Structure 1
Amino acid sequence: MALRRGFKAEAKRLALEVRAELGVHVFAPLDPYALAELYGIEVHDLSDPSLPRDAVRHFTGPAADAFSAALVSVGRGCVIIENHVHEPNRRRSTIAHEMAHVLLEHDFGVLLTDGEQCRSSSSDLELEAAELSGELLVPCDAARTAAFRGWTDSSVARYFRVSRSMARWRLNATAARRIARCTKAKGRGTLAADAARAG
């Protein structure tokens, strides 16, 4: 499975537009809950008393890893229901993913997020939502800046408030580290050549 041609550039543009709407610089952490609020999407968690108690006990206990969130259609809009027992960075990633579906205007009934994977009728839509949510949380340009600064996966994760696996994926998917290595190597080669000519 691969993203459709040109989608990465489209996701990059859209993420920058959304960050501008929120007043968030490209090299700053984005709050996905603020994004949901901006778009009028309510976020509820499994502590909501209207939810079936047995299901809540199941998904906050023995099956906590089986359910991260659901984007649920309500009337003409939608709400997000998230699993509040997950750690904060996972929850941020989950909300960003669900908001990516909203921003991309994907058709849905209920989209169930399971960890950092989603289950729905279209894996193409899930790939698109994953790419856009990654671009929202750790933009391509920010990943490259971090790589040039020599930041580790842990440093990127701490700064952008994402998991280490998300940080690693963004640094790899954007080719940030490879570009930083090649640029630095090219710079060293140029300096060596200049020194040889001068000597």
Structure 2
Amino acid sequence: MPLRHGFKAEVNRLSVQMRRELGLHPASPLVPTRLAEYLMIPVKAFSSAIAEEPRIGRLLTTEREAVSALTVHAGPRRQIWVNDSHDMGRQNSSASHEIAHALLMHPPGPALDLRGCRHWDGEIEEEADWLAGNLLITNEAAWSIARSELSPEAAMLRYGVSRQMLTWRMNKSGARARRARSAS
């Protein structure tokens, strides 16, 4: 599903703006929970709810791939819940995705459709994916990684992302191609 013209540039500008509001450089790492706190969106771990709802334990063990994160709406307030059985890179990605929904002002929707299947709006999910990636690694950050020739492992550690996210952002930002052109 194609994103509307200019959307990708807009989300990078928004990601840079969020960093500036937090007093960070456009290429600096961003901790999603810090941004959520700034936006007054509580972030909670699934494991913290086991005492109240023991069935959540399955999401941390036998069904850990079923849900990475979700947003719970209570009127105008949001709460983000993250599956803390996942590695930190994935948790950061998941939290950033949920924060992206808030920043993009996506309206809340039902979790399940009338058949009991997961409700999925491909357009808003793709928008949230793009913004989440940019929140974690702005174009400026990707270009900085490429210029400095930081190893993937060092970049993953510095930005708190998975290899998959790092690769995706390095490719989508054009940082790798830009670096290759400047090296020739």
Q: So what's the TM-score if we normalise by structure 2?
A: 0.90
What's the secondary structure of 1:58's corresponding residue?
A: helix
- C-alpha distance 9-111 of structure 1, shift in aligned 2 (>3 A): farther
Q: Partner residue of 2:97?
A: 97
Q: Corresponding residue for 1:122?
A: 121
Larger radius of gyration: 1
Determine the structure 2 residue equivalent to 1:152: 151
The 2-side partners of 1:164 and 1:51 are apart by 34
Q: 1:111 and 1:141 mapped to 2: Cα distance?
A: 35
Q: What one-letter code is carried by the residue in structure 2 that aligns with 1:163? A: S
User: What is the alpha-carbon distance in structure 2 between the residues aligned to residue 62 and residue 37 of structure 1?
Assistant: 31
**Correspondence for 2:49:** 48
Q: CA RMSD in A?
A: 1.7
The answer to which structure, 1 or 2, has the higher relative contact order (CA under 8 A, 6+ apart) is: 2
* Residues 50 and 57, structure 2, Cα contact 8 Å, conserved in 1: no
Identical residues among aligned pairs (%): 35
Number of aligned residue pairs: 178
Compute the displacement of 1:158 (Å): 1.6
Which sections of structure 1, spanning at least 5 residues, go unmatched? Answer: 113-118, 186-199
Amino acid across the alignment from 1:158 = L
* Aligned-residue offset at 1:52: 2.3
Deviation, 1:50, is 6.2
**Within 2, Cα distance between the matches of 1:81 and 1:51?**
14
**Residues 154-193 of structure 1: matches in 2 within 5 Å?**
154-185=153-184
CA contact (8 A) 2:69 2:94 kept: yes
Q: Judge conservation of contact 1:42–1:79 (CA < 8 Å) in 2.
A: yes
Deviation of 1:49 (Å): 4.7
Determine if contact 1:82/1:91 at 8 Å carries over to the other structure.
yes
Aligned to 2:21: 21
**TM-score when normalising by structure 1:** 0.83
Residues 111 and 91 of structure 1: is their aligned pair in 2 closer, same or farther, counting only changes over 3 Å?
farther
In structure 2, stretches of 5+ residues that fail to align are 113-117
